[in-house]
Structure 1
Amino acid sequence: MPWNFLEDRSVRSAEDTILQLEQLEDRQLLDAEAYLIDINPNGNSSPNHFAELNGTAFFAANFGSLGTELWMSDGTSAGTQLVKDLRSGTASSTPKYLVNFEGTLFFQANGGSEGTELWKSDGTSAGTQLVKDIFAGASSSSPKAFAELNGTLFFEANDGCNGRELWKTDGTSLGTSLVADINAGSGSGIPNGLFNFDGTLFFSANNGSNGTGFELWTSNGTSGGTQLFADLWPGSIGAAPGEFTNVDGTMFFDAYAGSLGRELWISDGTTTGTQLIADIVPGAYGSYPGELTEVNGTLFFVVNANDASNGTELWKSDGTSTGTQIVKDLQAGSASSYASNLVNLNGTLFFTANGGSNGYELWQTDGTSAGTMLADDLIPGSPSSSPRSLANINGTLFFQANSGSQGIELWVLEVTPPTLEITPDGGSTSADPILFTFEFSEDVTGFEAGDIFVTNGTAGTFTTVDANTYTLEVMPTADGDVTVTVADGVAEDLAGNENLGDSATIESDRFDELPRIVTGSDAGSGIVRLFDESGNEVMSFFPYTAAFTGGVRVAAGDINGDGILDIVTAAGPGGGPRVQVFSSDTSPTLSGPLMDFYAYTPSITVGLFVAVGDVNDDGFDDIITAPDLGGGPHVKVFSGQDGSLLSEFYAYNPTFTGGVRIAAGDIDGNGTAEIITAAGPGGGPHIRAFEGTSGMQMPGAATNFYAYAANVTTGVFVAAGDVNDDGLDDIITAPDAGGGPHVKVFSSDDGSLLQNFYAYDPSFVGGVRVGATDLNFDGFADILTVPGPSGGPHARAFSGVDLADLANFYSGLPTNSDGLFITGGLSVEPLAKPASAPFFASTPETGSSPPESLLSQWLQPKKAWTEDLDELYSKAEKIDQLFSGLGIQE
């Protein structure tokens, strides 16, 4: 869009000129930040000879009353101002050929009395001064063709004695001197197109002898090291090479090639490696390639001959004849777009061209025909704004163009992609979320919470602070690095420039790995209780209803992969085969495909046993089920990730109806859990181990054995844990009702007996249920036990190393003799967390809500049971009764 001044544009003083802008209608710029700065309100400022210094554009411009002088701009109206009026009044110093040499601006200018000479500037008025009056007096040395080599600035100049020759400067008057008098005497060698290629100065020059004309010369910065490099066109006319450009270590240039005319050449810095690429336009005139410019490893240039096929258009080359071709014929046929003013802007080529209907306007290309398009029609329709002097200033396009009403003025086009900085703000050790701030370098649109990828954390509240600042709360899911990442191209600025991505990481140290013990009732009240490692009750809940008295079987693991221990429950006899999963952080039933389901036909009411383990190594613990007494030995494995049935098999003879007790553990060290089974009442103490995804019998010393005498038919309970810290989960067993409290631990490595003890009074025959977890973090799994019916709710934990008493507590009232089930596990939870609350779910049979009168039973207070254990078991029988019954049929 064109711009008008908001206030009067009269100038108080040249150095203090402030430009203010206003947007008008009917201008379709690429970006709201692409605008015109009207330096000369009374005419054309015609800015040109742009150069960058410390991120600021310096250039020559005509203010009218001040003439053409040195100006600077940061791309804003307020930051566009005169640097210094080198030649006071309306006369012009006319700065040209501006170049940044080691942080100082060098250029030619006419200060008045000394003619056009070498000047320098640090960007301030006081720091803008004459370097040396090379052609003493009012005459001009007119230095130009600046190029740096090994910390020295080289250029062409005329001192009045030696003609136009090769000079150098270190920025001081004493350090400014003639390098070589190429054309000896008063004649001029006219070194032109100076270019540093691989540490050597290349240029075109004429030594006035040997009939070589203007040919390719080199210099190492000394007189003796300045010499003819190659006579490309033998004879007196010369090849006149120029437009030197480095493309990935190859120097491109244009030069005459005799009868082929002026064409495109390449050089690797050796004479043998200097050769013609292609005769682009046959004939004596040649293609006359110009404005050679590198973009992304490709040379772009303009074929300036009126080729009958294409006219004067934009071309490109990869350094081969076949790879030298037209980019796009903007004006089809022999008509010409007259592409010019080529510049590489952040990997995109911008240039001026006439596409036919829009006049001479600003174009851009990615090097393909489809990607060559009008960037901006500054004057809509057929009139031309004629952009010129295009320059890349720190990623922003500066140029001159004619807006029509304001004349030829300074234009700025912002095409730099918005950058992003992500900053985490505290929260690494507290219970609060970590706040990540996303700050773009400019206003963007399209940025959403879904564009942020979070690792080891859960995304929370996403807030738009303003158009370039956003925040996201992230709650870590485990200790370690929490990383948020934003990819490239998810948002764009007002110009349509896509953002550059970023990522940030902060280490979270807010979690404790907490050992947990879970008990479920065997009969009576169907309550589940969660305890810490010392037997302090953390919470309790009814997975079904308080009215259900069939008991609840429990297992523990991380089903949903959040690091928090999940409690898996199954109803006992009288309940349907419903499995539910609850989070141990006091949340209600978890959601997902495997959090509430029927493992078998809903009409089956024999009760279930459950176990948990990752059988397929997908990072999610899977759920294993088996029927209780009255059901067949039908084991099923359900995926914790998607709920699919991973495997199913019969652990024993399909006709056996004593039920199957199950556990899961890695008994072979392959990183996945195997399924361990034990027969229920009526079957022998037969322990088996199966591969979890196939249901196949596992090989090994402890995968198919009898834990007790073969004629023991009380049934056996089973658990798994690495009791001896050898990397393999060992197998823990205990008899069911009718057998004594005789606990055994078998090595999964060789089947040897690791532990062998009585968990309670040897005379107790109510059966013992077992579990395992590492309560004291010594690397050894500890053995958990609870008694069956007729025993009190006495939970115990024995050290896996030496059977030391680690925990000893009551799960519920000491007078309760319904029996318990037990399991254990580790939960990764925040150091500080909100208060827990009990919860409930519907019954497995009907799904109905419990009556109001039962609410007081659900809201169980948290308790720690520490009463003494003396005389707890009054109904003991002799341990000899353990050894009776029949073996299982197989």
Structure 2
Amino acid sequence: MLWQQFLPSTFKQSQVQKERDTPLRLEQLESRQLLAADPLLINVNPAGNGYPSGFEEVNGTAFFVANGGTTGMELWRSEGTSGTTQLVKDIRVGANNSYTGGLTNVSGTLYFTADSGSGSHLWKSNGTSAGTELVKDMDGDTIDFPSGMTNVNGTLFFRAFQGSTGFELWKSDGTSAGTSIVKDIVAKASNSDPQDLINVNGTLFFRATTPGIGFELWKSDGTSAGTQLVKDIRSGAYGSYIYQMTNVNGTLFFSANDGTNGHELWKTDGTSAGTQLVKDIASGLTSSVPTELTNVNGTLFFGAYTASSNYELWKSDGTSAGTELVKNIHTAGPGDVQNLTNVDGTLFFSANNGTNGRELWRSDGSSAGTQLVEDIDPGTDDSNPNEIVNVNGTLFFTANDGLYGSELWISDGTSFGTYLVKDIRAGGNGSQSTGLTNLNGTLFFAANNNLNGTELWVVDLIEETPLIVTGTDAGGPGTLRVFDTAGNELWNAFPYTVDFTGGVRVATGDINGDGILDIVTAAGPGGGPHIQVFDSETETLITGGPNNFYAYAPNVTVGVFVAVGDVNDDGFDDIITSADAGGGPHIKVFSGVDGSVITEFYAYAPEVTVGVRIATGDIDGNGTAEIITSPGPGGGPHIRVFSGTTGMQMPGAATNFYAYAPNVLTGVYVASGDLNNDGLDDIITAPGAGGGPHVLAFSSADASILQNFYAYDPAFTGGVRVASADINLDGFADIITVPGPSGGPHVRVFDGTDASDVSNFYSGLPDVTDGLFVAGGVGMTPYESPVLFSAPFPLVLETQNSDPPQDLVVDPIQKKKSWLDEADEFYASTEEIDKLFSGLGIE
């Protein structure tokens, strides 16, 4: 199992559809921590549309405007859960709207505008009803319309109207006495109409209009004397029509028209002499119209027009020579770059290259480094990425892939890491998600799922945590243990009863589709075909989906093997079972939705009773899991791959072969994972008891050998059990091994690309040699501090054989030097290895 199988089902569906229609693209993946993103609906207005908007974060709380159904549009607050989402105050009592807007955080106090029935005024709030109050009614019965609220070092600046002064610049410290006009720039009742207020390192810049000058650049230090025209860029009454003001490390960049060069890129240091044209990009009176000005680590990126390259991506360091075209994205027309967003030093934006339509792009500032991230709607159609927002280094945006309508998407900057988060409104109409806002690491937005109306949704990013799960083999109490990659035991349990000693087989997946890794257990010989499914976070049986059932008749006590995978692409991992030695090669596939049997078949001749070991993997790259089988002891190393929905033998180079010499009768254990990142899960094998610890990995593309190593001392013949997951989160599946009987509980993880050591620890007392079973997966929620138990805690379910649990004292586990490290010199001699295994037929 790979972490990709725990992504939303829509990821798999949309990604698979795209890859069917587009050529294969290979890229070098960076090492990164994968993220889980599962949108949560918060129904503000159960009777209709909540229409949440205007999100602002204050001291870890999200404030916004919404309609609760009985109060109209008012001020609300939320900490990202339904229980913490509540009305702050019904400012205009009753069903009428208070028209709350302009939410602004100033040193931990929320300022906003609202109309309680007497006009739009300035308000503030500490998040409580009692602490939500009018700051100042600035002109009695006259509506004062405060707007453009901007925090400058703890002082609120804004534009407001007073009958005697018109629209002018105001400021407030949150008190009535401290709320006053800064300067009546145009005397008496005429308006200077301040707009586009921006804080540049403690100085307020804005544009304002005065008679004979028009709209030009102004600045203020909060005093009347310190509020002054910076420069009359365009002489005369027309004004330079400044817009797109952007702070880049203390320098203000903007677009302006001086009447000679058209609308071009300008900059200022706050002085008249320091207010200069950066570059006349479109020479003469023609305007390049710089837009989307965006600071990316001190470099200004923007869109601009020229006759030669049309509207394309540019950058500037503030000099004419350093202002240049980044890339001519659409050589035959406008690239039409939009939605420029800085995500941890990388620029993301939408653009049209003329071939793929408007799609998501990224740039490092070089032409070669300006690339299409993903053709979300394949071909020339536009996916129209919009609402692009950075949430702690992860990009969220809305897009339409042609299948689901406009929905919420996520990207880590790679093609593979760009996928649909959730089809919030099922079908092709789209949820029309809007207002995407990062509030303290949580994404808030509005969306319509066609059931609850337009309501509040949140996505709380959670770092995914790789988990390694072991189950003891027959001999001691059947114990389930869960570890992190460092070998810290997070929790453990008796999934059956403390006196059951037949062994516990394990697998991992997401059975109920809640985004959390589930652990599936099956009883070994003597325990009945009892399957149970545990939530890796709550450590209890899952809710929703099958969690406790018998795979075969209850009197079948030969033991059961289990695997997990989504065989029908419905977004729920399904449970696959097979019988151990003494049972027939009867494979059954149970739906993760309701436990019904999807298909059942015989992997080998029905009279074969050596048992069957199973795994799942997407062998053909179609987005669904196939079933991989191998015989138990007494059967040859015959690997077969079957469809998970029909039970038919799959075609392909690696779907019907012998992993070792045909006369090897030790049985084979199998696992699957994409070791080389080619989009196909590869097949991993290891011999059962009687064979050496010889692990092989076969490419599903052509059956070539990808890995070939010995997991333990070559003289060890207890057999090796294998699993696969991306334990080091590098985008490549890794190989997990544990010994069979007579080996200590030594868990090892080998890098899938070069078989180097990733993790190495003991699951239990080192001198316990019963053997282990193993599984791996990626949990959707982190364990911030591992919980270590000195004994398995009681988790007992009523079964045919249930006794009260007993404590088992466990000594501290010490890591040992690996046998692989101790035998480097021996391994170097292939001749010695051949001699050792010649009698077993292992090649």
TM-score (norm 2): 0.45
TM-score (norm 1): 0.43
Higher relative contact order (CA 8 A, sep 6+): 2
**Which structure is larger by alpha-carbon Rg, 1 or 2?**
1
